[in-house]
Amino acid sequence: MKAKIQAVSTATGALKFGMNNILLTLKLYWVGMLLFVGGYALSFLGAIQLAGGFDALESGEAAVPFWPFLLVFVVVMGLGALAFAPASVRLARIIAGDAGEPSGIGYLKFTGREWRYVKGMVILGLIYLFLVFVPTMLPMAFVNLETGEIPAFLSMLPLLMFIIMLVFLWFMLRLVTFLPMIAIEDRLSFRDAFRMTKGNVWRIVGSFLLLYLMLVGIYFAVFFGVALVSGIVMIPLSLTMQGGEPGALTIILGVVLGLVSLVFYFAMIAFMGGSFHAWGTKVYLALARPAVDEPAVEAAASGSDSPMPGGQDN
């Protein structure tokens, strides 16, 4: 008899894992996150440089080339994406009970499993890009660029986009076990991923929507909570301003609130990312190991860099 996932318990279990293991998620992904932050900083500097280049061209001066920023940005973001692979593999194996929390950064290694995970990410990215880019750009081939005339049948474009969104969602949910399968079983197989989710699509959809709605609700609650507290704290301090200039205490507290907000921001990224990652892994475990009880995730997360009973720590 084919295993059936429990939609509600899978979503709530993933949410619980994400909430209880924010520090673990940050510990695993901090290298990739740091590289991504550096990449975004480079893109910001590159945008400033590009704007300055336009001004230089208008004044007849030689502009500093923009391409070095673009090249470094691509390299840094690529390294960040690569750093996510071993972190994602380790997190999935922790959730499965096959490995414990690493004691250092030794998990940032690339064996055959990690490279297969990278290959899986690239393949999924290309599939999703094809599903979104090709149908979106195809109607542009029918537009008369000289006159700007748009054929009447393109009025159906919103319906086409809705269908594309449904197809995208269908592929995403049908392949939700694809990456966890690589991370846990070291096996890359589209056919097995499709077969595994067959008969559970609506349960997976319901579980995903439930998790998504819970995360959105928590996100807005935290966002408005932080904004409200910041506003309440800053209002009395604004009264200490002298001559329209902020006092030293106002500046210090503003910096502190900014840092606290930044910490909350990264904590929310770790919480939401860890929850989604745990959800996909739990869907896979519910279908691949239905006879196995829910692994003691807390025990795995609090353990050393050693495998849990019944697993291998390759």
d(CA 132, CA 126): 10
208 and 177 Cβ atoms separated by less than 8 Å: no
Beta strands in 119-183 (DSSP E): none
Which segments of the chain have a pLDDT < 50?
293, 295-312, 314
Segment 51-79, tens digit of pLDDT: 666 555 555 555 556 677 778 888 888 88
d(CA 42, CA 28): 23
Q: Which amino acid, 233?
A: V
Total Cβ atoms within 10 A of residue 87? 22
- How many CA atoms within 13 Å lie on the side-chain side of 80? 16
d(CA 189, CA 197): 13
Segment 288-297, tens digit of pLDDT: 887 654 544 4
Question: What's the pLDDT score for residue 308?
Answer: 46
For 181, counting Cβ atoms within 10 Å of its Cβ (0-12 exposed, 13-18 middle, 19+ buried), the class is buried
Q: Which amino acid, 211?
A: L
Question: Which residues, at least 6 apart from 138, have a Cβ–Cβ distance to it below 8 Å?
Answer: none
pTM, two decimals, is: 0.77
Question: What's the pLDDT score for residue 242?
Answer: 54
Segment 271-283, tens digit of pLDDT: 999 999 999 999 9
Tokens 């025990």 correspond to 299
Write the DSSP string, 194-216.
Answer: HHHHTT-HHHHHHHHHHHHHHHH
Give the chain's length: 314
